[in-house]
């Protein structure tokens, strides 16, 4: 496997949108807090990257960096990470989170937050393994976790 990180582009966006999930994973992709916050997330502040193995799209990560975000959780936040079902469990998710942490450091920020739903089939164990520590809960009951850099 030769993993590379590329920008989201017309060449990759279709493949990103057609990546598959394992059964039961759909419900974990977007916590309620994200739909509420969608109104306040500025697309210009989005950081999105695609993991490619050779010329195959295998993963996607999206974050937002916005010092003016009205809520603390959304100032430096991982919004979405997903790895194609067939390629999960090969270190691609970790590769993407490490790239994000590099970006956080590059921007001179001191943390990255993620919000997720706990539960069987969800990303909780992954987020713990790659370094996120729970620090609270949203008003909708999602876990708030962060990596300090
Ligand atoms: C969560 C997700 C991105 C993980 O990607 P991945 O490429 O399979 O993860 P990796 O192979 O890099 O795993 C990194 C570590 O997490 C661990 N891990 C990953 N998934 C795990 C699980 N379901 N249970 C326990 N540990 C898990 C791995 O064992 C590995 O540990 P190690 O490096 O210490 O050996 C992937 O499962 C996915 O796309 N899920 C569906 C979408 C989703 O829920 N996204 C999160 C919300 S937006």
Q: Does ligand 1 have an atom closer than 6 angstroms to the CB of 123?
A: yes
The span from the CA of 135 to the CA of 115, in Å, is 10
Nearest CA to ligand 1 atom 29: 89
| Chain segment 96-140, per-residue pLDDT in tens | 999 999 999 999 999 999 999 999 999 999 999 999 999 999 999
Atom index in ligand 1 nearest the CA of residue 122 equals 44
The better pLDDT of the pair 89, 69 is held by: 89
Strand pairing category for 76-83 and 111-116? parallel
Please say whether the beta carbons of 104 and 112 come within 8 A: yes
- Give the Å distances, CA to CA, from 31 to 34, 80, 128: 6, 10, 17
Q: Does ligand 1 have an atom closer than 6 angstroms to the CB of 80?
A: yes
Atom index in ligand 1 nearest the CA of residue 25 equals 41
Please say whether the beta carbons of 127 and 134 come within 8 A: no
User: For the chain, what are the domain ranges?
Assistant: 3-148
* Per-residue confidence (pLDDT) for residue 31, from 0 to 100: 87
| Chain segment 26-75, per-residue pLDDT in tens | 999 988 888 877 766 788 899 999 999 999 999 999 999 999 988 899 99
- Give the Å distances, CA to CA, from 103 to 45, 55, 59, 84, 141: 13, 23, 17, 23, 28
The span from the CA of 21 to the CA of 81, in Å, is 11
Place domain 3-148 in its CATH homologous superfamily: Gcn5-related N-acetyltransferase (GNAT) (3.40.630.30)
């Amino acid at each position: 496997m030769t993993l590379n990180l590329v920008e989201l582009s017309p060449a990759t966006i279709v493949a990103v949108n057609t990546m598959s999930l394992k059964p039961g994973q759909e419900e974990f992709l977007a916590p309620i807090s994200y739909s509420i916050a969608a109104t306040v997330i500025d697309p210009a502040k989005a950081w999105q990257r695609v993991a490619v193995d050779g010329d195959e799209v295998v993963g996607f990560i999206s974050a937002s960096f916005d010092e003016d975000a009205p809520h603390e959780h959304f100032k430096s936040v991982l919004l979405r990470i997903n790895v194609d079902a067939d390629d999960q469990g090969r270190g691609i998710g970790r590769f993407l989170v490490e790239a994000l942490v590099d970006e956080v450091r590059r921007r001179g920020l001191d943390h990255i937050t993620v919000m997720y739903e706990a539960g069987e089939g969800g990303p909780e164990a992954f987020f713990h393994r790659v370094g996120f520590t729970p620090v609270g809960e949203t008003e909708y009951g999602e876990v708030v976790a962060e990596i300090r850099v």
